[in-house]
Amino acid sequence: MRKFNLSYAAGLIAAIAISQFVFMSGAGADDRGKLIGGMEHSYPEWFKESFLDFKEDAREAADANKHTILFMSLNGCSYCTRMLNESFAENRALIEKDFDTIGLNIKGDRMVMSDGENEITEKQLARKMRVRFTPTIVFLDENAETVFRINGFWDSAQFRNALAYISTRSYQEMGINQFMKARKSESIWDFRKLELMSDNTDFSSKDRPLLVLFEDAGCTTCGEVYDDLLGLDEVKEVLKTYDFVRLDARSQQAIIDNEGNATTAEKWAAKLGVSTSPTFVAFNEGIERQRVESRLYSFHFVSLLSYVSGKYYKTYDSWLKFNSQRLEEALASGVDVDLSDGRSSATK
């Protein structure tokens, strides 16, 4: 097989989203491409057997001094499998002690009741909650109100911090940025500088797309992102279309934000609601268009950045419609799309 070149990927299938929103299409003609790399999963036996009335679930959890977790996943989602096998398995004792966990399929047809009155299907709930990544992990309080949400894969250490943030009810007093900063007293990440990174500190220009990578010294997955993602040729190519900047989310470095305000890197990260490190925030025409706050494989990362830099948000009223069309065009052209390994993206 020959490597699928980036110009074709950017133009034809730039908008393929995370694997969680890709339908596992059956082969048509012999030359039709294949979607490979998906991983099946099942919910652990210690997840709650729920009647899917979240108000009732939240009350039952509160009676036991717990919160409720909604683990929203999709069949074939490799990120979901990894999070269950790593982040949930390694933190099982903490989760069982302080949380009731309910598994949901964002394409499922089971009836759920999120407001205590009206029943809708799992997939209708996913649309209502604007789920764009799987897994999506939603934490509910005693009133079944969302108090925190994780969009995508977080590793075991990141997830442990989130569990502590919720179980201690720190969300009632502070944002997760403050909480994480207080917990991450040990510096475990040495910042790296890539050749493609700009030293720009004025982000008010609208002349070209802007990509800001927020990191901090407590980052547990930054090494993986640099080693397995940012050094890849296809990633470097799409990064060239951006003013690509790395900021320390805890730093007092003086900057001008995208709205022209004089501020600091730390204050800007807080204003944007950056909740974990690393987080990529992609701007175009001075407006945030997309962000990545979880681990993405190279194919998905290139797709998301191409969507923003190419201004496809102007011609498609939703990210998913854009993705679905581009995916079908890629497969129909005989392109095999690998969604699993972070190094190969598409081949033909």
Tell me whether strands 35-36 and 67-73 are parallel, antiparallel or unpaired.
unpaired
**68 pLDDT more than 90:** yes
Higher confidence at residue 144 or residue 331?
144
pLDDT tens string 321-343: 777 777 788 889 998 877 765 44
At residue 228, the pLDDT reads: 87
pLDDT of 29 reads 53
pLDDT at 330: 82
At 19, list the tokens. Answer: 């694997």
Task: Report whether 276 contacts 293 (CB < 8 A).
Answer: yes
Q: Which residue has the higher pLDDT, 116 or 126?
A: 126
Q: Average pLDDT for residues 104-118, to the nearest whole number?
A: 94
Q: What percent of the chain has pLDDT over 70?
A: 87
Q: Which residue has the higher pLDDT, 173 or 302?
A: 173
Residues of the chain with CATH 3.40.30.10: 6-36+190-347, 54-183
Band of residue 18 on the pLDDT scale cut at 50, 70, 90:
very low
Please name the amino acid found at residue 345: S
Residue 306 has pLDDT above 70, yes or no: yes
> Sorting pLDDT into bands at 50, 70 and 90, what band is 345?
very low
Residue type, 260: G
At 186, the pLDDT band (50, 70, 90 cuts) reads low
Residue 16 banded pLDDT, cuts 50, 70, 90: very low
pLDDT at site 348: 46
Q: Average the pLDDT over 182-210 and give the result.
A: 88
* Range with top average pLDDT, 19-33, 87-101, 151-165: 87-101
d(CA 222, CA 171): 25
Residue 183 to residue 262: CA distance in whole angstroms: 28
Mean predicted confidence (pLDDT) in 67-85: 93
How sure is the predictor about 320, in pLDDT bands with cuts at 50, 70 and 90? low
pLDDT value at 13 more than 50: no
- For domain 54-183, give the CATH number: 3.40.30.10
- Superfamily of 6-36+190-347 according to CATH: Glutaredoxin (3.40.30.10)
Strands 35-36 and 336-338, by their bridges, are parallel
Average pLDDT over residues 58-87: 95
- Residue 83: is its pLDDT beyond 80? yes
Gyration radius (Cα) of the chain, Å: 20
Read off the pLDDT of each residue in 135-153 and give the average, rounded to a whole number: 96
Between 197 and 303, the higher pLDDT residue? 197
pLDDT higher than threshold 60 for residue 78: yes
Name the DSSP letter for residue 132. -
Q: Answer whether residue 98 shows pLDDT above 50.
A: yes
- The set of residues, in sequence order, having a beta carbon less than 8 Å from that of 208 and lying 6+ positions away, is 241, 242, 243
Q: How confident is the model at residue 196, as a pLDDT? A: 94
Residue 12: pLDDT band with limits 50, 70, 90 = very low
Whether pLDDT at 256 is above 90: yes
**Which range has the worst mean pLDDT, 141-155, 268-282, 323-337?**
323-337
- pLDDT score of 347 more than 80: no
Contact (CB, 8 A) for 234 and 202 = no
